[in-house]
Amino acid sequence: MKLTRIELHWVRLPLVAPFRTSFGVEYDREALLVKAVTPDVVGWGECVALPQPLYSAEYVDGAADALIRFLVPAVSALPDVTAAAVGAALTAVKGHPMAKAALEIAILDAQLRQANMPLADYLGAVRPAVPSGVSVGIMASIPELLDAVDGYLAAGYQRIKLKIQPGWDVAPVRAVREHLGDAVPLQVDANGAYTLADAVHLARLDPFELLMIEQPLVEDDLRGHAALARRLRTPICLDESVTSPARAVEAIESGAAAVINIKPGRVGGYLQARRIHDICAAHGVPVWVGGMLETGIGRAANLALAALPNFSLVGDVSASDRFFARDITPPITMRDGWIEVPTGPGIGVEPDDAALKEASVRSEWIDL
């Protein structure tokens, strides 16, 4: 395939409500979209970096800079641009997995559109629809949290994930569990806000029958997670810590992770994500697809990934209206707790021109 141009589109979409985590609060989604233009088709990818380097080292403008200066030039030097060749062409550049993932999926989308093949088929999907879970931010009060959770359950979400941090953990989890009863699948995500010294405190979550506690400790502390796992009944899931297939193996073999959250951006792309999925399957470790407040572009691709066989746990792939009054693609919708995997070629969706224009902050083109 020949690439003629890469376009970067900075967009800003207001969130329907602020989303607070242990590392910060987002009022809108500032995102970066990558468009791969070829003589015949175009492909789209979403870079999931946040505007500030608080979830991981990447941030929107840093990712754009890496794309412009290093990643796009490395890909444009390829004699034949294919998604399978992109990963190898980018390995010389250290880090920047979210920027790399966005470029790779934009190229893969174009390639699959040309071949008239859905991303789900290309990845090896086995389900036409995936169950939908929701990540619920930290709130100002417990009544406000219970209201929000009631709303999501009424909408049909099959699993609730509560964001926690020191000072917002045992009490809200107890309140939600008592309010909902034992049947509702419930889990928590700390985004690395605790230390091993909090082990006794975190064990107070054990009675609430959580599916898992996600990323209780900082990203680089696999040993700490393994030690914590020995002191909790609640299984530990890793998100931020798992940045590559090798890290996934280490996390599993060291006892640091009983479950892994796979985010394509965090691991450098959908092909790396599939490799980690396969490794986890071989180790009997279940996985689920995490979310990064994606627009419909990233959300559609995540649905294809979530349809692979070992994505046996409910992921954070929710409907567009969980976050946005107006998505930049036709809205991704949920019915009875399920979202259909797109069936069109490539990622199966594209931006709506008017919606993209409304959300647009600025654009840059790189002619090749």
Cα Rg, the chain, nearest whole Å: 20
Instruction: Report phi then psi at 356, rounded to 5.
Output: -65, -40
Length of the chain: 368
User: Cα separation of 24 and 20, whole Å?
Assistant: 6
Name, in order, each residue with C-beta under 8 angstroms of 192's C-beta and a sequence gap of 6 or more. Answer: 22, 23, 215, 216, 217, 218, 219, 240
Q: Does 292 bind ligand OSB (CB under 6 A)?
A: yes
Binding part of the chain for ligand OSB, among 170-178, 217-225, 284-292, 303-311 by CB under 6 A, reads 284-292
Selecting among 2, 161, 163, 357, the annotated active-site residue is: 163
Q: Does 189 bind ligand OSB (CB under 6 A)?
A: yes
Judged by CB under 5 A, the number of residues near Mg ion is: 3
User: Cα separation of 1 and 279, whole Å?
Assistant: 30
Amino acid letter, 157:
Y
Q: How far is the CB of 189 from Mg ion (least distance, A)?
A: 4
- The residue from 189, 294, 327, 350 that contacts Mg ion (CB under 5 A) is 189
DSSP category for residue 342: P
263 catalytic residue (yes or no): yes
Binding part of the chain for ligand OSB, among 139-147, 270-278, 288-296, 331-339 by CB under 6 A, reads 288-296
CA dihedral 140, 199, 313, 25 (to 10 degrees): 30
Judged by CB under 6 A, the number of residues near ligand OSB is: 11
35 catalytic residue (yes or no): no
- The residue from 22, 111, 132, 191 that contacts ligand OSB (CB under 6 A) is 191
Instruction: Judge contact between 368 and 37, C-beta under 8 A.
Output: no
Give, in order, the Cα–Cα distances in Å from 139 to each of 144, 146, 169, 214, 237: 7, 10, 11, 18, 23
Residue 54: CB atoms within 10 Å: 14
- The residue from 22, 38, 132, 135 that contacts ligand OSB (CB under 6 A) is 135
Instruction: Report phi then psi at 12, rounded to 5.
Output: -135, 120
DSSP category for residue 257: -
Q: How far is the CB of 190 from Mg ion (least distance, A)?
A: 8
Which C-beta is closer to ligand OSB: that of 71 or that of 339? 339
Q: How far is the CB of 194 from ligand OSB (least distance, A)?
A: 14
Binders of ligand OSB among residues 300 to 329 (CB under 6 A) are: 316, 318
Q: Does 239 bind ligand OSB (CB under 6 A)?
A: yes
Which C-beta is closer to ligand OSB: that of 83 or that of 273? 273
- Provide the annotated active-site residues: 163, 263
Residues that bind ligand OSB in the complex, under the rule CB under 6 A: 55, 135, 189, 191, 239, 290-293, 316, 318
Residues that bind Mg ion in the complex, under the rule CB under 5 A: 189, 214, 239
